[in-house]
Structure formats: structure tokens, C-alpha cells
Amino acid sequence: MRKIFYFALSLLPVTVAGAETAIDSIQPLDEVVVTAPLKTNPELNPLNVTRISDVEIEQSAESSLMPVLTAKVPGLFVTERGFAGYGVSGGSAGTVTIRGVGDGNKVLFMIDGQPQWAGVFGHSVADTYVANGIEKIEVVKGPSSLLYGSNAMGGSVNLVTKVQRKDGLTGRARAMFGSFSTQKFAMSSGYKKGRFSATLSGQLDRSNGDRAGSAFWLASEFAQLKYALSRNWSVAGMLDLTQTRANNPGTTQDPLENMWTYMKRGTGGLYLKNSYERLEGGLQAYINWGRHDLDDGNAPGAAPRDYLFHSSDYNMGLTLYESVNLWTANTLSGGIDFQHWGGSIWNTDKVDPSVRSSEATHNVNEVAGYLMMQQGFLDKLIDLSAGVRLQHGSSYGNIWVPQAGVIVRPVRTGELKLSFSKGFRAPNIRELYLYPPANPDLKPEYMLNYEIGYRQHLLTNRLMLGAALFYIDGRNTIIRIMQEGRPRNVNSGSFHNKGFEIEAACSLLPNLQASGSWSYLHTDSNNPFSPKNKLNLEVTYSPGPFSFTLEEMSIWHMRNGFPEGDIVNYSLLNLRAAYTLGSSVPVTLMVKLDNITDTRYEVMYGCPMPGATIMGGVEFKF
């Protein structure tokens, strides 16, 4: 905690200095909305981007964002092991893959552009990404390393927090109850007066779980303060905390007793933003930290372990970036990123916790600079973009990251994108220094991504059709081999993924919408949890105060870790229904039925998913 305090304290002079230079001309700011700065114009991103709105998040009635991502993003898949909670360590779930790339933290999660991952083991932590307080999600399907560096090899998921846009106090509260004695409570509130705005949210989930020994609980708290210094400058700070405990009963083939993980994680950040007619950017400082305590459990009837495992980690950084319009239809973006990450692991004796063993502490420094140019031609009929990043890591040296793309708009409502991009992932501390396979000479993994996509809007934007083709060439991947009778991590793996995605959305009537997507993946790797086919269909009907949503998801030809290499296929049907009464203080009654056909399936081998489940509750807004 002392490390966090000094880090935040060191940022105050930077923030105050920026404020003093910005206050010279204060004007009425009734229409100013303070938002997090962007590293570049997302509309000019040549890669495939999927956006999920707050309306879609709310209609899902989910407390975790993981099921929302699986349902809404073609080509994206998230592993599950049960009804509630993803956990960490052995047997955990929550691995996110995009187009077959993701295992080993190859998809970067961010909150308002701040990287989120555990500094020792390098993975994102699925239980910390809750729906409460999120305004939208932006998913880039393809390397985002040009802007964000390591861990964005396969793509990025940016969680954008809510912004209070109107003066006064607003809020909502929700309570839901259902299968396996599950209870979910969430509250959020926003306040705005002139230049100042604040948002607060909290969430509590608890469940006995669908299997004996799979109980789970989670508490999450979020606070954000924003202030518009002038029409062109703003400053903000945020704090996000999560505490959770997940029990793991093991697999049906190898059951466990007494296996649990307790986790505390936090994210803090400050940013100073400028926004002028031809200039926009900011200075952002952040820290992501965590403490994990766990018992690896024991086989039924065996003696419990006499120790607990612990890890603490941090991931802190500073980024400075600016975009400038040099001339008509031009955007030049550049920035400098610094990141310091690492942590410690140790064991403690259960009888005498003061006895510590197996201690290890390591850290890594990274510094990078990038430059990206986007230029429009022929009244924005064509947009060209090209950029490069040079990143230096204390554990691996230098790595270059190029990206180039073109956007062509043959008609006003159609857009063709072609792109080439490189993504990379630096080895994490576990792979470099911990346990027998470790190899301190490891270099980053990387992949080359080639993509073409087209999106067309028809019928005055009531119909959207889209398609994308991609080819991925993965190189230098880290694999484990036997060397002189001992396991060792080496950079000698490769993979090739190719496929396509088709999606459509249509507003058939003012109160009837339908959407669907089909993603196909062919890979020469044996990585599990990369479906060859994934189909999502959704229909929403909203007559008056009622709302009904029917969702279907089918997975075909996916490896789930079964030792003999068999594949799994399954289809799920879910129903959401809501009824809203009142206007000044709306109250909504809702029910959520998942797997209504009672399908029996396993996403992860040995972890049977529940059959039909039900959740119901109430929400009111003010």
C-alpha cells in the first residue's frame, strides 16, 4: 500500500502544473463532458472493431462482462467452469481468445485505456470485470500493440466507464436472486454540477455454485471524479477495487477438497486531458495491483497441504500521447509509454504463518515510443494509415511493431477495410524466472495479422451487413520442451489461423430488432477453447413496457482439454424478459432464463456446466 501511496503522491505536481497552465481563460462549461483521452481516432482504425453499448449490457442482465463479450463479439470466446466465478491459479476459467489467439494473456484488457493484468503471472483476471458502471465496451479483433504494446497481441478489450452527462443526481439499484441460492446486488450513482462530475458504483455477488465445493462471492467498488478546468482542459481520477473468494471442487475425474482462492485487486489512475480544434491528447498515470492467497487443496481422503501460496503484484505506468490535425483530413498521433511491472510469490505455514518459504521477487521495465499517421483523400473516399512502435524491455531488448491499413468508402453507407498489423506479447515473470521450466533468455512472442473486411448499412441504417477475412501467422511462441531431462520454456513454436466472420443486424420494426453472427476458424495448433464454428443469434421484441430477448449460441468443433483430443459441440438458448412501470422513477421487473433446453455440456474438460438456471429481480432508476 505504501508503494501505491508514493506513486500517487508523485503525480500531484504534474497534475497541478497542468491545471495552472489551463486556467487562464475560463468560459461557461455547461456543455463540456469530461471523458478519458483517446490515443487516436477510433473511426480511422483499419482493424475490425466491435462496440457494445450500455443498452446491450443492461439488457443482458449480467453482473459479469464475460458472458456479454461471448454473446456480442464474433470470433471471441471465454472459458467457463461453472455457474459463478472464474477464479485464478490451477483450474481457473476466464481465458479470452479472439480468433483462436488468447491463451497466455494475448488479449489485453483495459479500463479507460489503462492496462489491466497481474504482474507476476501476466494474465488478466476475469472476476474483476463487472458490468456495473460500464458505459460501453470496445473490442479490437487483431493486434493492438502499435498503441498499447505487449499483451495486445491478439486484440484488446477497452472497458469505458460511465460519464455523467446532465446536471444533478442520477442513479440505479438492482437486486437479483436465483438458482443455487445466488444473490446479486448492484448500485450506481452519478452527480454533475457545472465543471464537476462524480460517479460511484458498488456490486456484491454470492452463490453456492452448481457443484458442491464451488461457492463464490465477489464485492466490487468504483469511484471516479472529473473536473473541467476550462473548455480545453480537464482532469480526472479513478479508483476500482475488487475482493473475491472462489472455491474449486476440481474436475469430476480428479476432484479436490479445500481448494480456494482469495483475491484483492485494485486499479487507480489519474489523467490530464487537452482538447482543441486541431489538437487532442493527454497525460495518464495508472497502477494496477493485487494480492492472491490460495490453497491448492487435496484429493478426497488425502491429508490437506500444510502451506498456503501467496502472490502480490503490480503494474504501473505513465503514458503521454497527442494527436494533431496538421492539414485537412490528416491526423498525426504519437506518444511515449513507460511501464514497470512485477511482484513476489511466497508460501506460508498454515500453523505458523510467520514461517515463509519459496520466496521470489522480480520486476520488468518497459519504455516505448510510437507514431501513427492517418490521411484522408478525395473527400474521405479513402483513408490511409501507417504507424510504427519501438519498445524496449529490460528482459528482452528491442522490438519493432509496424501497422498499415486503408479504408475505402465506395458508397456513403459502406466501408471496406484492409490492414496489416503486428502484435506481440512479452514473456511474463513466471515464464522467465519461476519454477523449473523458466528461461530468462526468452524473447517476445509475435504474430502478423492480415485482414480485409466490409460493412454496409442499408434501408436508412435499419440494416447492417458485415464480413471479414483474416490470416494470422504466429511466430516465436513460447512452448515447453524437455531439455537434458528437464522441462524448459523456449521460443520455438508457431501457429497459423485463418477464417472469416459474417454478421448482420436489422431493425425490422421500431420495437423489433434482430442480429446474428457466424465466425469460422481454421488453425493448425492444438490449443483448446478455440471453436471452429461459433454462431450467435438474438431477437429483441419490446411492446410497450415489456421487453423480451431470445439468444442462441452454438459451438461446434472445439477442443476442451480432453486428454484423448475429442471435440465438443453444444447449443444454448437463453431468454430475457423485463417489464417497466412508472415514468418519474422507473421500476423494472426482470427475469433471466439460461440454457432453457437444459443442455448438458462442458466448456472445460471435467467441469460440467449447469443445466437450466433462473435469475429474477428488480431494478429502479432515479
Judged against a pLDDT cut of 70, whether residue 37 lies above it is answered with no
Name the one residue in this structure whose C-alpha cell is 456490486: 203
- 516-551 pLDDT, tens digit per residue, is 999 999 999 888 899 999 999 999 999 999 999 999
For residue 148, the SS3 value is helix
Give the CA distances from residue 124 to residues 26, 97, 315, 603, in Å, rounded to whole numbers and listed in that order. Answer: 41, 12, 12, 19
Say how many C-beta atoms besides its own lie within 10 A of residue 356's C-beta: 13
Res. 70: pLDDT tops 80: yes
Q: Lowest mean pLDDT: which of 5-19, 69-83, 277-291, 476-490?
A: 5-19
Q: Is the pLDDT score of 139 beyond 60?
A: yes
In the numeric block, the cell 430488432 is attached to: 513
Q: What is the mean pLDDT of residues 50-57?
A: 93
In the chain, the domains with their CATH numbers are: 2-22+45-621 (2.40.170.20)
Digit-coded pLDDT (tens) for 422-432: 999 999 999 99
Distance CA 182, CA 174 (A): 14
pLDDT of residue 90: 81
* CA dihedral for 96, 98, 99, 100, sign (positive or negative): negative
pLDDT of 22 reads 34
Confidence of residue 190 (pLDDT cuts 50, 70, 90): very high
Please state, in angstroms and rounded to a whole number, the distance separating the CA atoms of residues 532 and 205: 33
Report the candidate in 118, 364, 161, 131 with the shortest Cα–Cα distance to residue 263.
Answer: 118
Q: With 70 as the cut, is the pLDDT of residue 10 above it?
A: no
pLDDT at 256: 94
- pLDDT at position 583 is 73
Q: Strand 96-98 relative to strand 76-78: parallel, antiparallel, unpaired?
A: antiparallel
Q: Are 518 and 502 in contact (CB under 8 A)?
A: yes
User: How many CA atoms lie within 13 Å of 163's alpha carbon, on the beta-carbon side?
Assistant: 15
Percentage of the chain lying above the pLDDT 70 cut: 94
pLDDT at 324 over 70: yes
What's the confidence (pLDDT) of residue 4?
39
Q: What pLDDT digit, counting tens, does each position of 435-464 carry?
A: 889 999 999 999 999 999 999 999 999 999
Compute the distance between CA of residue 61 and CA of residue 165 in angstroms, rounded to an integer: 23
Beta strands in 162-306 (DSSP E): 168-178, 182-193, 196-207, 216-228, 233-247, 257-275, 279-298
Residue 330 has pLDDT above 80, yes or no: yes
C-alpha cell at position 169 = 443526481
Query: Contact, 452 vs 420, CB < 8 A?
Result: no
pLDDT in tens, 91-122: 889 999 999 998 878 999 999 999 998 899 88
Residue 478 binned pLDDT confidence (cut-offs 50, 70, 90):
very high
Q: Which of 607, 594, 428, 555 is nearest to 97 (CA)?
A: 555
573 by DSSP, 3-state: which?
strand
What pLDDT is attached to residue 5?
36
- Residues with Cβ < 8 Å from 452, sequence gap 6 or more? 416, 417, 418, 419, 468, 469, 470
Query: 191: buried, middle or exposed (CB in 10 Å: 19+, 13-18, 0-12)?
Result: middle
* pLDDT value at 585 more than 70: yes
Q: What is the pLDDT of residue 565?
A: 77
Which has the minimum average pLDDT: 38-52, 130-144, 181-195, 312-326?
A: 38-52
Report the mean per-residue pLDDT for the chain: 91
CB atoms within 10 A of CB 42: 12
For the chain, the C-alpha Rg in angstroms (whole number) is 24
| CB within 8 Å of 556: residues ≥ 6 apart | 531, 532, 533, 534, 535, 569
The pLDDT, as a whole number, for residue 484 is 86
pLDDT given at position 33:
65
Per-residue pLDDT of 220-255, as tens digits, reads 999 999 999 999 999 999 999 999 999 999 999 999
Residue type present at position 514: A
Check: CB of residue 593 under 8 Å from CB of residue 601.
no
Separation between Cα atoms, residue 414 and residue 457, nearest integer Å? 6
Q: Which residue has the cell 498456503?
A: 308
Averaged pLDDT, 333-360: 95
